[in-house]
A and B are shown apart, each in its own frame.
Chain A
Amino acid sequence: MAKNTESNVYTVLFATGMVVIVGALLAFLASSLKEKITENKRIEKQQNILYAMGVNENEPGSVTFVSKNIVGGEFSKYITKQLVITGTDAVEDENAYLIDLKKEEAAAKNTNYQRRLPLFIGNKDNIQYYIIPVRGKGLWDAIWGYVAIDNQLVVQGVYFDHAAETPGLGSNIKERFFMDDFKGEHFLDGDLFKGISVSKGNADPKNMDKTDFEVDAIAGSTITGDGLAAMLKKDLKLYLPYLKTLKQ
């Protein structure tokens, strides 16, 4: 047996066998675990949205979501309305948070397609929060997040996450010290849309100036920071027509 391993027939047979075994194993695992994985992702989305509007169990310095078991209840308690905005139309849809931004963005390349924009309206301690999902590219892979603003269009909280940014550098966008900087930040100058940039050496490391349209960058993660700023600019802009109606 061991002697024949050089022959072509054996090689082809071995390769075929290997492909079949590995393929079957992975396909079986992926399909049998798919439900659980989708469920986990759904829970995570709810946790993230709630986190952005300040519903979380943070201790000083930690990022802690409301726990898995109660997130469903908390989500329906705090999120009073979910809208899907298409063009000039806004329709309520309780599954708006499941809209896949990546697919919408890809579909919107076709100019005939009206992009669906999900927006979540939350209410906590009688303050209305408008939570906007955003998605963009970091250094290695996708980055995404949720931005909660109040009816004065001032950022009240954010949550950012990433697929594969460099640990210890770009991955710090999901750490408290970075996300907390966005609280109170403005992205409109009067009526002019500015976005929020992530800047190095802006002489404001404690982020005292909330109307400079920038937050302090993370050392060593320029590309992730630029990607994040570009993401905010790109996706917040889409909601401007709707947001302007709030600020009366």
Chain B
Amino acid sequence: MEHLELFFKAIFIDNMVFATFLGMCSYLAVSKKVSTAVGLGAAVIFVMAITVPLNWLLDQYILQEGALSWLGEEYATYDLSFLSFIMFIATIATMVQLVEIIVEKFSPDLYNSLGIFLPLIAVNCAILGGSLFMQSREIESLDLAFNYGVSSGIGFFLAILAIAAIREKIRYSNVPAPLRGLGITFIITGLMAIGFMSFGGMLTGGEEEVAIEETASIETSVIVEKPTIEAEIIKVVDSVSVDELEIKE
């Protein structure tokens, strides 16, 4: 269920292109033809599926404060989170280059179709964005991180496929000359983004009902707990005013 929710959320509600406007540059530059758009989209899915989980591991076991505790107690206080930007970027750039070399060696066909897009991807901010979102949204497990990578990639794939298909057709329309090409693409993307905003309500409907149930259950628990806490608090406050301050860490 958690997986399913994250999957749809990443594709539709938080769509990389239409909701967060990341990856716009390659989205605009490589969307003239459907075939090239498919190539770039596939490459983005592929790279995100690798880099997001990889960066998750880096974040959990190296970068976060206390993440180094697996090395021993004395390392538990290290906080390397100031390195996260550099580490994420380095991972992405390295992975892209590695993937390029491996694909070239073992599957020349795939390389011919994907190859030229791989260097483009290293500078695609959607990829770095994916890793940074993964960090700031505190995604909890490796499989969720993998899911997030794949579904964000699919979101980008859908977006670029859609705009490429529109651009192929729009050639037959009578667009004002100065708007042709880039200008009309900007405007269409704006309209598409407005359309995608309507997905925003998709996963909030159910949440409200849960909230009502929650409040009901708290209500009862509060009444049950009340007397004991009251006694405790009064006791503590008393002891503070009479005795010296008791400071517990």
The majority secondary structure among interface residues of chain B is helix
The 8 A CB mask of A214-248 against B (1 = contact, 0 = none) is: 00000000110010000001000100111011000
Q: Nearest CB to that of A18 among chain B residues?
A: B90
B169 interface residue per 8 A CB criterion: no
Per the 8 Å Cβ criterion, residues 98-156 of B in contact with A are 133, 136-138
B5 interface residue per 8 A CB criterion: no
Docked-complex contact A245 and B228, CB < 8 angstroms: no
CA of A241 to CA of B211, assembled, Å: 18
Docked-complex contact A226 and B204, CB < 8 angstroms: yes
Docked-complex contact B136 and A91, CB < 8 angstroms: no
The 8 A CB mask of B232-244 against A (1 = contact, 0 = none) is: 1100100010000
Total number of A residues with any Cβ neighbor in B under 8 Å: 37
A154 interface residue per 8 A CB criterion: no
CA of A141 to CA of B200, assembled, Å: 18
CA of A84 to CA of B65, assembled, Å: 23
Contacts of B218 in A (CB 8 A): 193, 237, 240
Partner of A141, one of B136, B221, B225, B246: B136
Contacts of B249 in A (CB 8 A): 93, 95
A44 interface residue per 8 A CB criterion: no
The 8 A CB mask of B190-228 against A (1 = contact, 0 = none) is: 000000000010001000000100010011011001101
Point out residues on A near B: beta carbons under 8 Å: 22-23, 26, 30, 81, 84, 88-95, 103, 106, 137, 140-142, 163-164, 191-195, 222-223, 226, 233, 237, 240-242, 244-245
> What are 29 A-B pairs at a CB distance below 8 A?
A22-B86, A88-B225, A88-B229, A88-B232, A89-B232, A90-B233, A90-B236, A92-B236, A92-B247, A93-B248, A93-B249, A95-B247, A95-B249, A137-B136, A137-B137, A141-B136, A142-B136, A192-B215, A192-B219, A194-B215, A226-B204, A233-B211, A237-B218, A240-B218, A241-B221, A241-B222, A242-B233, A244-B222, A245-B229
